[in-house]
């Protein structure tokens, strides 16, 4: 059996899976999404992603289309039908299909649900992490509600493409004060020159990363010091280490920013250790 997607109540071959042309996610980016990392076929950080999904929907006044319990069953069934063990599970919920009009359609319009699942080569990802990756910086140009995980990702798309064209894996947005907000699809961290782990606070206009949150708990058990305090790109260059976190990148060391080495340019030992500890935790708690 090939890849299968879930679309509005039906499992369909991935190649034929489609939504209506007047789906508001397609026409207006009026939709939210979540991504779970899969470990041995189970959802990592399940609770955190569900909580954020419910919050994103509530902020946009899109009703949760089914209970969390029912949604979990459908998500799991998508994973099962795709026979994915290590991978990524994607869920998108839009405000539904209605004649194009910026204002909300009638309350009777059911939200649209799409779920896809794909395998990830975790040993290749591990090898990449152990080599270290590069980021570039780009000016922050996103809207003021980056805490909501919407599919309106055009600035992120352009930033990521710029990174790709310059041989980097990620782009860090830098705000008007010169402070790093986050990556195009990850949160940004440093181990500063004083040995303190730092990442942007969630009062800032960033996505409240689920991986970021769990890693905070993991760090608390290591005895390392962590502060939710912003840093500039310059500080990151003078830091001991830098890394990114997210359901896709897990914890990935960053060794260069805009073509310049972070610290001595070596792959961060602390970042690699946190990567192992995070994966261990995510595997142990996956459901
Ligand atoms: N991205 N910041 C942004 C802008 C993101 O898009 C993501 C996740 C994160 C990290 O969040 P989390 O730890 O909850 O995955 C931070 C997903 C993986 C994506 O867009 O594919």
pLDDT (tens digit, 9 = 90+) per residue, 202-240? 999 999 999 999 999 999 999 999 999 999 999 999 999
pLDDT at position 263 is 96
Report the pLDDT value the prediction gives residue 174, as an integer from 0 to 100: 98
Average pLDDT over residues 186-198: 98
- Looking at the structure of the chain, the number of domains it has is 2
Distance 187 CA to ligand 1 centre (A): 7
Residue minimizing CA distance to atom 4 of ligand 1: 185
For residue 26, name the pLDDT band (cuts at 50, 70, 90).
Answer: very high
Catalytic residues: 149
CATH number at residue 90: 3.30.470.10
Q: Is 207 in the pocket of ligand 1 (CB under 6 A)?
A: yes
Q: Indicate if 114 and 256 belong to the same structural domain.
A: no
Instruction: Determine the pLDDT at residue 256.
Output: 98
Domain that holds residue 219: 125-285
Instruction: Please check the confidence at residue 181 and state whether its pLDDT lies above 80.
Output: yes
Backbone angles phi, psi at 44, to 5 degrees: -80, 145
Atom of ligand 1 nearest to the CA of 156: 4
Q: Which atom of ligand 1 lies at the shortest distance from residue 207's CA? A: 2
The reply to whether ligand 1 has any atom less than 6 angstroms from the CB of 209 is yes
Whether residues 241 and 142 share a domain: the answer is: yes
Q: What is the mean pLDDT of the chain?
A: 98
Domain end position, chosen among 101, 120, 139: 120
Band (pLDDT 50/70/90 cuts) for residue 1 is low
Residues of the chain with pLDDT > 70, as a percent, come to 100
Out of 187, 201, 211, 213, mutate this one to test ligand 1's pocket (max ligand atoms within 8 Å of CB): namely 187
């Amino acid at each position: 059996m090939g890849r299968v997607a879930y679309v509005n109540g039906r499992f369909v071959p991935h190649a034929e899976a489609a939504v209506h042309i007047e789906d508001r996610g397609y026409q207006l980016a009026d939709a939210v999404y979540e991504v779970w990392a899969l470990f041995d076929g189970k959802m990592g950080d399940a609770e955190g992603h569900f909580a954020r999904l419910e919050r994103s929907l509530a902020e946009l006044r899109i009703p949760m289309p089914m209970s969390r319990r029912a949604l979990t069953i459908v998500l799991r069934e998508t994973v099962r039908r795709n026979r994915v063990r290590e991978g990524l599970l994607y869920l998108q919920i839009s405000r539904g299909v209605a004649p194009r009009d910026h204002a909300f359609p009638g309350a009777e319009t059911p939200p649209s649900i799409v779920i896809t699942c794909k395998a990830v080569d975790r040993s290749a990802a591990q090898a990449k992490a152990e080599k270290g990756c590069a980021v570039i910086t780009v000016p922050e140009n996103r809207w003021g509600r980056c805490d909501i995980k919407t599919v309106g990702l055009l600035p992120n798309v352009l930033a990521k493409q710029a990174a790709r064209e310059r041989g980097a894996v990620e782009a860090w947005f830098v705000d008007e004060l010169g402070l790093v907000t986050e990556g195009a699809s990850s949160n940004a961290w440093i181990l500063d020159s004083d040995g303190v782990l730092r990442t942007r606070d969630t009062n800032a206009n960033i996505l409240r990363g689920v991986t970021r949150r769990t890693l905070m708990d993991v760090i608390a058990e290591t005895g390392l010091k962590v502060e939710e305090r912003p840093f500039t790109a310059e500080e990151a260059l003078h830091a001991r280490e830098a890394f990114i976190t997210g359901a896709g990148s897990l914890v990935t060391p960053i060794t260069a920013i805009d073509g310049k080495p972070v610290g001595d340019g070596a792959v961060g030992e602390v970042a690699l250790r946190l990567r192992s500890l995070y994966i261990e935790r995510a595997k142990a708690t996956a459901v």
